[in-house]
Structure formats: C-alpha cells, structure tokens
Amino acid sequence: MIKRVGSIVYKHQEEWYQQAEQLRRFFPRNEEMFGGWIISQTHSSLRFQGEYYLGDYTNNPDDVAFFTLIFPKDPEKDFTIQFNNRRSRDLANKYCIRSYLKAEISESLFSMHSYNSFLLSASNLLRYE
C-alpha cells in the first residue's frame, strides 16, 4: 500500500514509488511474524512502515514492534530501522530484534538480487535531479 502524504510532489516521485513497490515485493511476508508494509516518501528517502509480532517470544499476543525502514535516496547509504513508539523501542531492546530485522530485510533483498538493481535504478534517477 502506498501512503501519499500531503500534496508535496518530489522530483521523479512516480519512479520512486515504482521502485518502492518493486522493493516491497521482496520484504518478508510471514503473516505470523510480519504485518503489512506501507510505503511513504520524503524528499530524501523511501520509508516502509511495518510491524513485527513478538507474541511467540513474550507469550503475549499483544506485543508488536512497529518500525519504519528508511531507505535513503542516496545509493551509497544503507537503510536504517526506526522503531515508531516507546513500547516498540522497549521490545526491540529487550528482545534484541533490531539486528534480527536488519538481517532478515538484508537477506530478503540480496537473495532476490533486487537490492542491487534498486540501487542502480536509484542512482540513475539521482543523476537527473
């Protein structure tokens, strides 16, 4: 799902959303662990909001870590993970899921060979800005 925020239009906005949709297809989709992905865009990054269910680890089905993957439009920078609220940050710290999520996302991108093509396409878009 693409979440278009406000009326701000960025250079090559539609191309970036197409790249984001292509990238999102390769993210983990295990419905027992990962929720859906929502795409948004800023001037300098693509953002993918997701959720990770920790109920299997905590024995509490209400324990969900809400996070955002931030992919800079600069192809030389790596993506980062930002937890969206205090409860999510506390769960991430307690159960050390930041490195797990980073590894899961990286593995899904590299295993499908999509990340390299994404960076190549992104760098082509940056050339014309």
Does residue 92 sit within a domain? yes
Report how many domains make up the chain: 1
Mean pLDDT to the nearest integer, 12-39 = 77
Domain of residue 113: give its range.
13-127
Does residue 4 sit within a domain? no
pTM of the full structure: 0.76
Tell me which of 14 and 93 has the higher pLDDT.
Answer: 93
Give me the residue label for tokens 């859906």: 36
| Burial readout 93-117 (b: 16 or more C-beta within 10 A, e: otherwise) | eeeebbeebeebbeebbeeeebbee
HSE-up of residue 90 (Cα within 13 Å, Cβ side): 6
Does residue 120 sit within a domain? yes
Does residue 6 sit within a domain? no
Does residue 32 sit within a domain? yes
**Where residue 122 falls among pLDDT bands split at 50, 70, 90?**
low
Q: Running DSSP on this structure, what letter comes out for residue 35?
A: -
Highest mean pLDDT pick, 34-38, 86-90, 113-117, 124-128:
86-90
Does residue 119 sit within a domain? yes
Q: Comparing C-alpha atoms, which of 24, 63, 51, 56 is closest to residue 40?
A: 24
Does residue 97 sit within a domain? yes
Q: Nearest 5 degrees, angle CA 39-CA 101-CA 71?
A: 40
Does residue 84 sit within a domain? yes
Task: Spell out the residues 6+ positions from residue 53 whose beta carbon is closer than 8 angstroms to its own.
Answer: 32, 33, 34, 35, 61, 63, 64
